[in-house]
Structure 1
Amino acid sequence: MTTDSGASPHRPSLGITALGAYAPARVVSNADFEARLDTNAEWIESRTGIRERRFAAEDEYTSDVGVGAVRDLLSRDPEALREVDAVICATVSPDALMPSTAALIAMQVGLTGAAAFDLSTACSGFVYGLSVAQGLILAGTARRVLVVGAEALSKIVDQDDRNTAILFGDGAGAAVVGPVPAGYGFQQFVLGADGAGGSSLYLRCAAPRLPGGFEMGETVGMNGREVFKFAVRVLGDSGNEVLAKTGLKSSDVDWVVPHQANIRIIEAANERFGVPMSRTVVNVDRYGNTSSATVPLALREALDDGRIQDGQQLLLVAFGGGLSWAAGTMRWWAGAPSLSARAAAPAEVPA
């Protein structure tokens, strides 16, 4: 599925007008797994690129980390939520199936009464959310939309399963989508999913099995080999597709902001769409795979350290459970208070 976000005389330019991020205070290093898992710190880093990740506190859940990201956004721009009348939370680890985590976040940040719903496409959720947000605005349903990618994956991952425990961390990013000056903002999105690959990456809810009879366990399950092959292919293909739809070549891209699943996946995918690692934002080494939060966390970090500048061309690419994928192109606008560089890490404790 391709969505056209290009501005026209009758269609406003839309993009990110505010951005915040949050990472829990607890740092879990690779060495912390050595005592109970058949692994060591060097093996984890060599296979994944991950050195450490953040885990939420015992009484901290997805809505809490999501609120932390919104409060970080507000600390940078106190007026950022003005005119926001819809909230989307992309998450695979919601506090509850109902009420939605989006509604819980909205309640705590002063947006009671706004439309609010969760979006479940796992790691591709934030990019999906940006596309859905621009659709709501173009349809006249919303003026501005708050998109939150938030996860407390440590609550749903079996910490004794070496295949998954070493990969995932907790965190959140929050972005406001709204009008930006002409020539800036979203250009194209490519979204897709293939349920036939669902048995390669899953989390059980109401049903004990998937269509076709695949039996699911109680916690996150993953076939690492199949996910790796899928990820490399779909990141490369969706990245190339969205560039072609936008009329761009890989040489036109200033920065790729990919889903931070595994450094080997990122490197292999970059080869497929021809953008060097020197123009790729990577922070998987310090946060691990935070699913729907990885893209906004990486984007916020690259703004804070000054890498991403006004007018630069960005390519966002992600894949996740579903199996799903999402890619988007945008020309960055840095004209709002929260979109400039600031020498600060993501806030670590919600106010």
Structure 2
Amino acid sequence: MPRLLLAPMEGLVDDVMRDALTRAGGYDHCVTEFIRISGSLLPVRAYTRVSPELENGSRTKAGTPVRVQLLGSEPACMAENAARLAGLAPAGIDLNFGCPAPTVNRHRGGAALLDEPELLFEIAAAVRRAVPKGIPFTAKMRLGVRDATRAVECAQALADGGAEELVIHGRTKLDGYRPPAHWGEIARVAEQVKVPVVANGEVWKPEDWQRCRSESGRGDVMIGRGAVADPFLARRIRGDAPPSSEACWTELLGMIAVYWQRVLTKLEPRHCPGRVKQWLLLLERNYPQATQMLAQVRAERDPLRFEAMLRCHGVPLAEAA
């Protein structure tokens, strides 16, 4: 079976969401949100904060390997931090050249560097020298800043610099997350690089996965927001989803319970309801029950009252003592 990878999604998929989605099953590995590298050697806690899985053999509680992603534009500093990260035995180290966020791009990070293939090569080569061969070293990129005219050049620069595999998101920086994803452009780039390429972008359903593979010519696919909108998407693709929508929702209620309890241990209580609402906003693409739940809890900010409302909607949370 071709690989299914869980994408890094800043502000959406942290270690708590990775735990939930990999418990649902079906992913071969996942990648953390980016760790911003800017002018200094970060302490170990900077890596374990973003990837607590480093203290669990670089795996989620369900056993899915977790690769750690770095973002920055200074080759020497990126290499120095990659070497420190390598000492923590991650399941892999990934470089981010795909983030389209203006706040990141203004500081020469993410997809903004896709106009500078020479710099991409320098960063990849510096990090390659710093990372032992036994640790997978990969990179994620978009098709370009404004268009895809330099996509091949950028992909070749990363591969020539030592990246062992590339994930290509089928949109430019300016495209943001607006559909469609241009899977055919991924095929064009992949045909001209010497390393494996994974396709990424706009996969929400098994039918999208099939079309993505067909148009990109890639066997392996990385799934982003579609994984959060349907935690059983990877299992659907593999033919192993719960047998009915009711069974899916029942299992999801248990996942929401675990997610809520873990969020409470990580964040200040006042921030916790917002995290569940964010998930419900995506879940309602596939589950009418999520729409009903969100309509009831949307205005509630008090954690205790919010938890009581979750319980009323069937989320299996124990009553407070």
TM-score, normalization by structure 2: 0.31
Which structure shows the bigger proportion of residues in strand conformation? 1
Q: Which has the larger radius of gyration?
A: 2
Quick one: higher RCO (CA 8 Å, sep 6+), 1 or 2?
1
